[in-house]
Amino acid sequence: MATRLHRATVLALYQLSLAVGIALLPVALAASRVGISIPFDRILTRLAEAYEDA
């Protein structure tokens, strides 16, 4: 039961982070033109790895 809950939570966080990343894409593009890098790929990578391990 706890494993299912953990896996469902990680999947929900992963899906939410993808949605937030897509929504913030214009902000990230504007920031990259100014020279600021947003490390959103690290968050996605960690959540994807956590989901695969679950």
The per-residue pLDDT for 34 is 92
Q: Taking residues 12-38, report their average pLDDT.
A: 88
Domain of 15 in residue numbering reads as 2-53
The per-residue pLDDT for 1 is 64
**Structure confidence by residue, pLDDT tens digits, 30-51:** 988 999 887 777 877 888 888 7
The DSSP code sequence of 4-52 is HHHHHHHHHHHHHHHHHHHHTHHHHHHHHHHT----HHHHHHHHHHHHH
The per-residue pLDDT for 33 is 93
pTM equals 0.66
Total number of domains constituting the chain: 1
Closest CA to 43 of 23, 21, 22, 11: 21
CB distance 6 to 50 below 8 Å = no
Mean per-residue pLDDT of the chain = 85
Q: Return d(Cα 5, Cα 24) in angstroms, integer.
A: 28
